[in-house]
Amino acid sequence: MVPLEWYLGLSAVLFCIGVFGVLSRRNAIAILMGIELMLNAANINLVAFGRFIHPTVLTGHVFAVFVITVAAAEAAVGLAIIISAYRNIAHINADKINVMRW
């Protein structure tokens, strides 16, 4: 069997790659990609703990399904905001979008 620590290590590294992507990219779609990587890392953790603590109750799976639901909603709304921003200011560079800055 694969030990639990391997899964935790994989998800930790994946989460940190996502954090790096969110912080280092300027394209708003690339920032969303980093967020998706982080959500996937969290899901791996949920399912791994569920497998190792209660292999038959599947609470971790249910939570992972909810996380996937929220991730889909978040991607839809985020991309709609990005398209709306592109229509108004003709670029989607997150460091240049400052029309809401006072």
Partner 1 sequence: MQISLQQVAFAAIALVVLGSALMVVTLRNIFHSLLFLALSFVGVAGVYLLLSADFLAAVQVLIYIGAITVLMMFALMLTHRVMTTNVTQTLGQWHLAPLPVALGLLIILFRLFVLHPWKLEADAARVGPTTGIIGQALLTKYVLPFELASIVLLVAMVGAIVLAKEDKPDGPA
**What is the smallest separation between the CB atom of 102 and partner 1, expressed in angstroms?**
22
Q: Which residue has 């997150």 as its token pair?
A: 94
Q: How far, in Å, CA of 89 to CA of 40, rounded?
A: 31
Restricting to residues 5-64, name those near partner 1 by CB under 8 A.
5-10, 12-21, 23-27, 29-30, 32-34, 36-37, 40, 43-44, 47-48, 51-53, 55-59, 61-62, 64
Is 89 a binding residue for partner 1 by CB under 8 A? The answer is no
Distance CA 53, CA 34 (A): 29
Kindly state the smallest distance separating residue 24's Cβ from partner 1, in Å.
4
Q: Which residue shows structure tokens 């694969």?
A: 2
